[in-house]
């Protein structure tokens, strides 16, 4: 079980601002991705449970490549337990699953459950959480949703994922209650996804675009 505190995980998310969200098919794919992230200086990734290789990818990414790995698409408590055992540093779920949240809190595992409404935000707040996943961000209000929720519920922070791209990412990151955005728009596709240099270039370009006001 990882020993990182939730505060440390969320500090890292805020520091790096973007999180690659990926489905890993095999070891070669993982090694190329990890190599590219290392070249670009981005030591964090969310690996979704959408492939048969996912658990092995989490284990290899966290041990061999020393990445801070979030386990994504966690739907059940069993998913949370298995990915924690594999080496995940934090858990990401598409929705607010009370069983998953309770298990994570009881076991010291940072968790980002997905929310899409004020009701869900308040329910998560009542559980003791202060940082959540805003999902699917691009289809339920985008950055305007973050601005609206900050008024009545000012002590909550979010990591936004779901349909975010190069055009919309700066608007999300301009919101004070947003820690980071997650996605794959900046990662190479097809054969290029097996090229660490291509991955590094995509990450560097995305980071430059998000930090250079002239590109917004």
Active site residues: 46, 133
CB 1 within 8 A of CB 107: yes
Q: H or E element: which one contains 112?
A: strand 111-115
Query: Of 132, 200, 201, 215, nearest to 166 (Cα)?
Result: 215
The residues near 167 (Cβ < 8 Å, ≥ 6 apart) are none
- Joined together, the tokens standing for residue 45 give 């990734």
Backbone φ and ψ of 183, nearest 5°? 170, -170
């Amino acid at each position: 079980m990882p020993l990182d505190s939730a505060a440390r995980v969320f500090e890292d998310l805020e520091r790096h601002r973007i999180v690659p969200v990926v489905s890993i098919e095999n070891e070669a794919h993982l090694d190329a991705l990890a190599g590219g992230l290392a070249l670009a200086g981005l030591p964090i990734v969310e690996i979704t449970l959408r492939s048969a290789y996912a658990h092995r990818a989490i284990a290899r990414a966290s041990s061999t490549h020393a990445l801070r790995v979030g386990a994504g698409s966690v739907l059940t408590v069993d998913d949370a337990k298995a990915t924690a055992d594999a080496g995940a540093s934090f858990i990401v779920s598409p929705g607010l699953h009370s069983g998953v949240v309770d298990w994570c809190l009881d076991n010291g595992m940072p968790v980002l459950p997905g929310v899409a409404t004020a009701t869900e935000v308040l329910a998560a707040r009542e559980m003791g959480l202060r940082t959540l996943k805003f999902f699917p961000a691009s289809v339920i209000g985008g950055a305007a949703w973050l601005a609206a929720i900050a008024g009545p519920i000012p002590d909550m922070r979010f990591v936004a994922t779901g349909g975010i791209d190069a055009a919309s990412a700066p608007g999300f990151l301009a919101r004070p209650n947003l820690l980071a955005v997650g996605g794959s728009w900046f990662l190479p596709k097809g054969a290029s996804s097996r090229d660490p240099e291509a991955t590094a270039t995509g990450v560097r370009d995305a980071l430059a675009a998000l930090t250079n006001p002239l590109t917004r």
